């Protein structure tokens, strides 16, 4: 059997609106998995291809992921209960490079793109976060509370129904204007949000690591269905990414 192929028992499951928060037993997850890497999950039901879901958090013996029900695959996965087994390829891809412990990092997430940033934030020595959601209903309270245990969090919503009204790039611009310039930005979220974050980072000479979410087939770089143009070059998101570095 492939050394990346796991069958993991669900030890904890929570649901919140369209989100499902699953923890599975995964021995040595903290040694094996890097922040920003992802799982390729056989969801069940009629979905034939695996679906990519980010690693949200790990411990010595568990791995957590949170996903939104979008279509057939995620709907079938959300049916699984505690005690059921999840078939996954893990961990896949290239995650966030967070080797320098002394650098000041800002984690900026949008919607489901907030989830991969929790484990990443835990790996940073000096970190704060801006988490953006559509509205209060989308801002999963358990996740936001877990993040607040790791670092200072600025919560933003598009409509102002929770936290500060506005979009995360505005939050970043305000931080920089207040003299709180980070050495590095790590980000994941909708493309339009990440493009804006990358452009603010470049204008201010800040290194930015952005995690891309493309539709994927194999997850291991053979089918190339996730190839996309990044910074003028065709890149295979599952194998070369999903995290790409945009130098200052």
Ligand X SMILES: Cc1cc2nc3c(=O)[nH]c(=O)nc-3n(C[C@H](O)[C@H](O)[C@H](O)COP(=O)(O)OP(=O)(O)OC[C@H]3O[C@@H](n4cnc5c(N)ncnc54)[C@H](O)[C@@H]3O)c2cc1C
Contacts with ligand X by CB under 6 A lie at 38, 47, 51-54, 65-68, 70-74, 112, 115-116, 213-216, 242
Q: What is the DSSP string of 21-62?
A: EEEEE-TTHHHHPPTT-EEEEE-BTTB-S-EEEE--EE-SSE
Q: Least distance to ligand X from the beta carbon of 180, Å?
A: 28
**Cβ contact 128:194 at 8 Å:** no
Give the residue with the Cβ less far from ligand X, 50 or 123: 50
Nearer to ligand X, 175 or 193 (CB): 193
Nearer to ligand X, 19 or 197 (CB): 19
For the stretch 69-73, contacts whose Cβ atoms lie closer than 8 Å and that sit 24 or more positions apart, written own/partner, are 69/18, 69/19, 69/20, 72/43, 72/45, 72/46, 72/47, 73/43, 73/45, 73/47, 73/49
Q: How far is the CB of 88 from ligand X (least distance, A)?
A: 13
| 245 and 208 Cβ atoms separated by less than 8 Å | yes
Quote the least distance from Cβ 102 to ligand X, whole Å. Answer: 29
Dig out the tokens for 129 from the structure: 């976060």
Quote the least distance from Cβ 11 to ligand X, whole Å. Answer: 18
Q: How far is the CB of 15 from ligand X (least distance, A)?
A: 13
For ligand X, the closer CB: 73 or 163: 73
Cβ closer to ligand X: 71 or 141?
71
- In angstroms, what is the minimal distance from the CB of 83 to ligand X? 22
- Which residue's CB atom is positioned nearest to ligand X? 71
Please name which of 27, 28, 55 lies closest in space to residue 41, comparing C-alpha atoms: 55
Residue 108 neighbours by CB under 8 Å, 6+ apart = 117, 129, 130, 132, 168, 171, 172, 185, 186, 187, 189, 197
- Classify 137 as helix, strand or coil: helix
Q: From residue 51, give the alpha-carbon distance in Å to each of 43, 70, 169, 181, 205.
A: 7, 11, 29, 36, 35
Q: Minimum CB separation from ligand X for residue 238, in Å?
A: 7
Cβ distance to ligand X smaller for residue 108 or 175: 108
* Opening angle at CA 20, ends 89 and 90, nearest 5: 10
Please say which residue, 71 or 160, places its beta carbon nearer to ligand X.
Answer: 71
């Amino acid at each position: 059997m492939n050394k990346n192929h796991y069958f993991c028992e669900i030890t904890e499951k929570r649901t919140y609106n369209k989100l499902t928060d699953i923890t599975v037993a995964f021995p040595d997850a903290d040694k094996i998995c890097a922040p920003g890497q992802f799982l390729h999950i056989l969801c069940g039901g009629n979905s034939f291809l695996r679906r990519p879901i980010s690693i949200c958090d790990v411990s010595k013996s568990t791995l957590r992921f949170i996903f939104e029900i979008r279509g057939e695959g995620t709907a079938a996965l959300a049916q699984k209960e505690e005690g059921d087994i999840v078939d996954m390829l893990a961990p896949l891809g290239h995650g966030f490079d967070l080797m320098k412990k002394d650098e000041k990092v800002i984690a900026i997430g949008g919607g489901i793109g907030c989830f991969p940033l929790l484990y990443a934030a835990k790996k940073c020595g000096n970190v704060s976060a801006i988490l953006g959601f559509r509205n209060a209903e989308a801002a999963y309270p358990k996740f936001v509370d877990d993040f607040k245990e790791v670092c200072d969090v600025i919560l933003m919503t598009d409509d102002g129904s929770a936290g500060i009204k506005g979009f995360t790039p505005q939050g970043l611009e305000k931080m920089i204007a207040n003299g709180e310039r980070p050495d590095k930005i790590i980000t994941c979220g909708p493309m339009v949000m990440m493009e804006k974050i990358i452009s603010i980072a470049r204008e201010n000479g800040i290194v930015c690591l952005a995690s891309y979410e493309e539709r994927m087939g194999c997850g291991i770089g053979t089918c190339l269905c996730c190839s996309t143009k990044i910074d003028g070059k065709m890149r295979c998101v599952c194998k070369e990414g999903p995290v790409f570095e945009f130098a200052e």
